[in-house]
A and B are shown apart, each in its own frame.
Chain A
C-alpha cells in the first residue's frame, strides 16, 4: 500500500517538475524559409514535456515567424531582427541567446544537428559553463539522452546533470512537427549590440532540382565504383525516376566526382530514407554511420565480398554500368 502511494506521489512529482520544463528551440532559416530540421527539433523539444519556445534571429524574420506560428507544439516565438544577424554568425547569435536565457530561464536549449546547430550550440553551452550533448537520437527523460558514438557503432545513454541542458537533435531520429494547426504568439526580444569580430562574405550553394538529401524519401548514392563525375549521370537518371536525392560516399567526394555537400557518412550527412540505393559503394564504417538507419537498403556492387552487402536488404552482385541503366529502364515501364 505504502509502496503504491509512494509511486503515485513520485509520478505526481515528476509531472510537477515536467510542467516547469521550458525549452528554447533555435530556429534555422535563410530569412525566407524555415530549414526542415527545425521541425524535427521541435518534435524532440515537445517530448521533454514542457513549453516550447522558438527563437528566430535574422535580418528578415517576418516570413519565418509566420511559418513557425502555425507549427504544432510551439507556444511562443521570440523574434530578434537585426542586420548584425546576417549569415547567422555564432559570435553574434550567442550573446542574443544568452540574453534570452537570462530573461526566460529555459531548462533546455536545442537546435537541429546541422552545420548551423553544430556551429552554434557548443559556443552557447561554453558560455553557460555547461557540457552540451550532440546529435541525440532519443530522449529518455528530461535529463537522459541517447546518442551514437564511434561512427554509429555504439549507443551511449547519457545523463546530463547540468542546470541547463544544451543539445542538438539528429533530424532523422524524430518526426517533423506538423506545419499546420499551431497558433503560437510572437514577441520581440531586444537585439544585442554587434560583436563585430566576424563577417559573413558569401555562400556558394549547390543548386539542384532534386529533393534535399537529409529529408528525401529515396536516396541513390554513388561511390568510387562510378569511376568519374560524368558517370554520376547514370545515378541522376535513376534518381529522377524515383524522385530521389543523390548522395555520395567519401571516396567519391575525395576523388572529385561530386561536391562534398553530397557526402553521406559520419563526417557528412546522416540520412534515414525509406529506400537507400548504394551503387558502387563498398560500405566503409564511416559511410554506414550515415545511412544504416534507412528503412530498406539496396546495394549494387560487383564485389560479392563488399561489406555493404551485410547491411543490404536486397543485394545485386553486378556491374553497375549495366545494372543501373537497366533499372532506370525497368522503372520507366
Chain B
C-alpha cells in the first residue's frame, strides 16, 4: 500500500462561462464571474479518492495555489473525499504571474515535505490551457510521468498507465513515486452530497506560504496583451442539400 497522494486542484472560471477580454487588454474579466474547480482536477480528485476506497493508498491531500478563494476549491475536493487540504497562499501581483513553473516548484516541494508517493493532477487547466504542470513537477522531482491517463492500475511499486495519444492509446509502466495527469476519460467525478459537504467543513486546511517551501515566485514570462480572437464573418443559411452542394462547388470546396 502506497502512502500518500497529493492532488493539485485549480480554481478557474467555470467552463460554461463565455469569457470577456478586459477593455485595456491586460487579461480577461474575473471579478464577479462564476468560478469552479478545473474539470480535469475534478477527475484527478476522483481517481485519488477511488485509490483510497480500494485501500491502495492511505491518505489523499488536496493542494491549491492561489488567493483566499482557492480554499473553496479545496473544500470541494474535501467534500469529494480528500482527507485534508493545503492552501498555498499566493495573491496580488504574484498570483497574476503564477504559472506552471512556479506551481510545479510548489508541488515538488510539498511532495518532499509530505513524503508523497503519487501526485495526480489534471492534464491541463481550461483557463491557461498550458498542459505543463504535471510534466514539470515530475521533472523537478526526477519522477516518471504518466500523462493524459485514461486508465491507472497500481501494481506493487509500479503503476500501469494507459495514455491517450494522437493515434489511439499507449500503455506504459512507471515506477513509484510518480506523477500522473488525468485525461477526460479516466473516470466520471462524483457529486459531493450534502452530508459530505457538511463533513468537509470539519476537515483541516493548512495554510502555507511559497516562501515557507523555499519557492521563489519570480516569473520571466510577461503577458504583453490579451485580445479577442478575430471574429468570423456571419454565414448564410441554405434551404436544401442541393443549395449546399451547389454553394460548395461554386466556391471550389468540393
What residues make up the interface of A, taking CB atoms closer than 8 Å to B? 87, 89-91, 94, 114-116, 118-127, 129-135, 144, 147-162, 197-206, 214, 218, 242, 250, 253-254, 259-261, 266-267, 269, 274-275, 285-286, 292, 296-298, 309-318, 323, 326-327, 330-331
Q: A115-B166, A156-B226 are in contact. Are A242 and B139 (CB under 8 A)?
A: no
Check if B244 is an interface residue, CB within 8 A of chain A.
yes
Chain A residue nearest to B164 (CB atoms) is A260
Give complex CA distance A148, B171 in Å: 30
Q: Are B129 and A115 interface neighbours, CB within 8 A?
A: no
A-B contact pairs, 5 of them (CB 8 A): A118-B147, A131-B219, A132-B101, A153-B19, A254-B184
Q: Are A159 and B136 in contact (CB under 8 A)?
A: no
- How near does chain A come to B56, taking the closest CB pair, in angstroms? 20
Contact A199 B226 (CB under 8 A): no
Instruction: Report how far A204 CA is from B133 CA in the complex, Å.
Output: 27
- Among A116, A126, A157, A253, chain B packs the most CB atoms within 10 A around the CB of A126
The 8 Å CB contact of A118, one of B28, B131, B235, is: B131
* Contact (A123, B135) CB under 8 Å given A155-B226, A202-B170, A261-B167: yes
Cβ–Cβ contact A200 & B170, under 8 A: yes
Asked whether B241 is an interface residue with its Cβ less than 8 Å from the other chain, the reply is yes
CB contact under 8 A between A314 and B238, given known A122-B135, A154-B28, A158-B223: yes
B165 contacts A by Cβ under 8 Å = yes
Partner of A150, one of B126, B239, B244: B126
Known: A198-B172, A203-B167, A274-B253. 13 other contacts (CB 8 A): A91-B145, A115-B165, A120-B135, A122-B132, A131-B219, A157-B226, A162-B220, A204-B169, A253-B185, A275-B248, A298-B244, A309-B235, A314-B247
Question: Contacts A127-B139, A132-B132: A119 and B145 contacting too (C-beta < 8 A)?
Answer: yes
Residues of B within 8 A of A312 (CB): 235
Binary per-residue interface labels of chain B (1-24) against chain A in the complex, 1 for a CB within 8 Å, 0 otherwise? 000000000000101101101000
Q: Does B228 contact A (CB under 8 A)?
A: yes
Q: Give the contacts of B161-217 with A (CB-CB under 8 A).
A: 163-175, 183-185
Task: Please tell me if the beta carbons of A157 and B223 are within 8 angstroms of each other in the complex.
Answer: yes
B185–A130 touching, CB < 8 Å: no
Question: Which residue of the partner chain, among A126, A151, A202, A254, contacts B126 with CB atoms under 8 Å?
Answer: A151
Contacts of A131 in B (CB 8 A): 99-101, 219-221
Instruction: Decide yes or no whether B112 CB sits under 8 A from chain A.
Output: no
Contact B143 A157, beta carbon cutoff 8 Å: no
Assess whether B28 is in contact with A150, with CB atoms less than 8 Å apart. yes
- Cβ–Cβ contact A125 & B132, under 8 A: yes
Q: Are A250 and B184 in contact (CB under 8 A)?
A: yes
Contacts of B21 in A (CB 8 A): 154
B241 touches A201 (CB 8 A): no
Asked whether A292 lies within 8 Å of B220 as measured between CB atoms, the reply is: no
A323 vs B104: C-alpha distance when bound (angstroms): 50
Do the beta carbons of A327 and B132 come within 8 Å of each other? Answer: no
Nearest 10 Cβ contacts at the A-B interface: A126-B139, A122-B135, A126-B136, A122-B132, A313-B235, A205-B167, A205-B168, A161-B220, A326-B241, A198-B144
List residues of chain B with CB within 8 A of the CB of A292: 229, 232
> In chain A, what residue has the closest Cβ to B228?
A154
* Given A122-B132, A123-B145, A156-B223, A116-B244 contact (CB < 8 Å): no
In the assembled complex, the Cα of A90 lies from the Cα of B209 at a distance in Å of: 31
Residue of A nearest to B132 (CB): A122
Report whether B166 and A314 are in contact in the complex, using a CB–CB cutoff of 8 Å: no
Q: Which of A129, A149, A261 contacts B166 (CB 8 A)?
A: A261
Question: Considering only CB atoms, which chain A residue lies closest to B175 in the complex?
Answer: A197
Contacts of A267 in B (CB 8 A): 123-124, 183-184
**B18 contacts A285, C-beta separation under 8 Å:** yes
Q: Contacts A131-B99, A327-B245 given: A149-B139 contact, CB under 8 Å? A: no
Known: A260-B150, A317-B237. Contact between A126 and B135, CB under 8 A? yes
- Whether A116 contacts B236 by the Cβ 8 Å rule is no
A122 to B140 alpha-carbon distance, docked (Å): 11
Contact A199 B174 (CB under 8 A): yes
Is there contact, CB below 8 Å, between A316 and B244? Answer: yes
Cβ of B147 and Cβ of A119 under 8 Å apart?
Answer: yes
Residue in contact with B254 in the complex, picked from A127, A242, A297, CB distance below 8 Å? A242
Instruction: Say how far A63's CB is from chain B's closest CB, in angstroms.
Output: 18
Q: Of residues A115, A131, A261, which shows the largest number of chain B Cβ atoms within 10 Å of its Cβ?
A: A131
- Is B88 close to A, CB under 8 A? no
CB distance from B147 to the nearest CB of A (A): 5
A253 to B136, CA, bound (A): 29
* A150 and B13 contact, Cβ closer than 8 Å, known pairs A131-B101, A298-B248: yes
A171 to chain B, nearest CB (A): 11
Q: Is the CB of A134 within 8 A of B130?
A: yes
Tell me whether A155 and B170 are in contact (CB under 8 A): no
Say yes or no for B138: interface residue by CB 8 A criterion: yes
* Among candidates B171, B184, B253, residue contacting A296 with C-beta atoms closer than 8 Å: B253
* B244, A259: Cβ atoms closer than 8 Å: no
Inter-subunit contact A197/B144 (CB<8 Å): yes
Check A159/B222 contact, CB under 8 A, given A119-B147, A134-B131.
yes
Q: How far is the CB of A116 from chain B (nearest CB, A)?
A: 7
Measured CB to CB, the closest approach of chain A to B226, in angstroms, equals 5
Which B residues from 111 to 130 make CB contacts under 8 A with A?
Answer: 123-124, 126-130
